[in-house]
Amino acid sequence: MLRGAKERMPELASFVIPFIINLLVYTRYPLMYGIDGPYYIIQERSLITNGWIKYPDPPLAFLILAPFYLLGGGLGIKIGVVFFISLSSLLIFRTIKSLSKSSLVALFSSIVFGSSPYIMPLYTDFIKNALGLLFIISFFYSLFCIKDSKIRVTCMVSSVIACSLTHVLDFGVLGLMILLSAPSFLIVKEKEGFKEVAISLLLVGSMLILAFTIPSLVGGDVSKLVSFLEEGVVEEEAMGFFGEIPIHYGFAIGGLIYSIFRKDKTAILVLPASLVALAINFPLIAPKWAFRFSLMNSVTFPLIIPAFLQILREDWKKVMIIMLIIGFLVPIGIRVWPRLKPSIPLGEWEEIRDLTKVIPVNSTLFVPNTKLRYWVEAEIGDQYDVKGRNTDIKPPFYIITEVSRPPPKGRTIYEGSYIVVNLIGRFGRFP
């Protein structure tokens, strides 16, 4: 019994360690992080009170976070996000353990996923994107860890559908990895799972056609894909958000070499992960997109790690490689850490909540700044009609701006340390 419990410890650690680390990171401040943080409060509140989300978006992330929001509001969302990140980490452990037969390799890969400086900006600001990683990982977990063919294909197909209903970037990465998995089966000469991968690839194509035919099914996310295809590459070198492209390419090329020459089952996972890593770190991607693409190293990087550890027999050599990888990640983490915080200070949040004392309930509030509007709508939007840019509004209405902005025309009814509220008494359209 004790032996069984000891063997389970690495698997338990693959969940618990990322959960503790990420919860500590995510609860340093009481507010939701990033510009989009309050957006999730708005969407969850609408889902609970009105039966559906307020703004068009792929719905699955909001649906699976709804129970956590009901239990704890914004803190509940944070706990829910950290839970699903940790669950993804656990699935990576099981997947890598199944392929490498090494708890050390599997545990390190899972912790790199769950605690890396790539995953933290995702779950603190781009929550949908972060939750979509679960379905990328569950696809490959199903492929390598589920033995029954019928159950395996059901889980793989479900992962593809779920990913398409979560975030377009996750779906694009998953679709590309599925496409690139096909040649890896031929290189390894592996038959088990190939049929399921082929079925999944057909499903990816079908989901793309459906998304372009009925964009509302995925919240209009296809517009982002079209926008990238139109403007995603620039002529001069962009070098990505983290400026670590040469190192990323080194890991990806190492994974390719492993896949071609080792030709074991691990190559079926490492090859597509390496090729996708080369694509998302392409140095000519426009800076607008390079940042988001760089964050997808959060899933490709841990899946390439086995290629560097599995070829070593002695544990001390594996530890040396692990130390080198940690040495690569720590400087990135030092640069990323200060950016993980709410988009407004706590004092500004308190002033927003105090507006209910000076503005009559059911009034119209015009907030031209998107960042500020999300917070106003998240905190007091259930009592007011909050509007943003490109909106026709009728008097009287209140315009809310930050003190650093030029004061608008109208009678000032509130001026705090962070925000100013003016009463506007004329018709207007604000760009």
Per-residue pLDDT reduced to its tens digit, 293-312: 888 999 999 999 888 887 77
The more confident residue out of 426 and 106 is: 106
Q: Which of 277, 334, 329 is nearest to 307 (CA)?
A: 277
Per-residue confidence (pLDDT) for residue 248, from 0 to 100: 75
Q: Which residues contact 271 (CB under 8 A, 6 or more apart)?
A: 180, 181, 183, 184, 187, 255, 256, 259
One-letter amino acid at 281 equals N
pTM of the model: 0.90
pLDDT given for residue 337 in this prediction: 84
The HSE-up count of residue 293 (CA atoms within 13 Å, CB side) is: 28
Q: Considering the chain, what is the average pLDDT of its residues?
A: 86
Burial of 373 (0-12, 13-18, 19+ CB in 10 A): buried
Judged by average pLDDT, the poorest of 178-182, 321-325, 368-372 is 321-325
| CB 412, CB 429: distance < 8 Å | no
Which pair of tokens denotes residue 27? 């609860």
CA–centroid distance for 159 within its chain: 16
pLDDT, tens digit (0-9, with 9 covering 90-100), for 103-133: 988 999 999 999 888 899 999 989 999 999 9
Q: Residue 233 — φ and ψ, nearest 5°? A: -120, 135
Provide the CA 55 distance to its chain's centre, in angstroms.
18
Return the domain boundaries, the chain.
2-339, 346-430
Is 144 in contact with 92 (CB distance < 8 Å)?
no
Residue carrying structure tokens 């070499």: 257
pLDDT band at 323 (very low <50, low <70, confident <90, very high): confident
* Between 405 and 164, residue with greater pLDDT: 164
36-45, 197-206, 227-236, 336-345: the lowest-pLDDT one: 227-236
> In this model, does residue 143 exceed pLDDT 90?
yes
Mean pLDDT of 333-347: 89
Percent of the chain with pLDDT over 90: 54
User: What Å distances lie between residue 194 and 137, 153, 185, 265, CA to CA?
Assistant: 17, 10, 7, 12
- What is the predicted pLDDT for the residue at 355? 94
Handedness of CA 327, 141, 204, 222 (dihedral sign): negative
pLDDT band at 234 (very low <50, low <70, confident <90, very high): low
Q: Is the model's pLDDT at 219 over the cut of 70?
A: no
Q: What one-letter code names the amino acid at 277?
A: A
pLDDT of residue 2: 52
Question: What three-state secondary structure class fits 412?
Answer: strand
Q: Average pLDDT of 255-276? A: 88
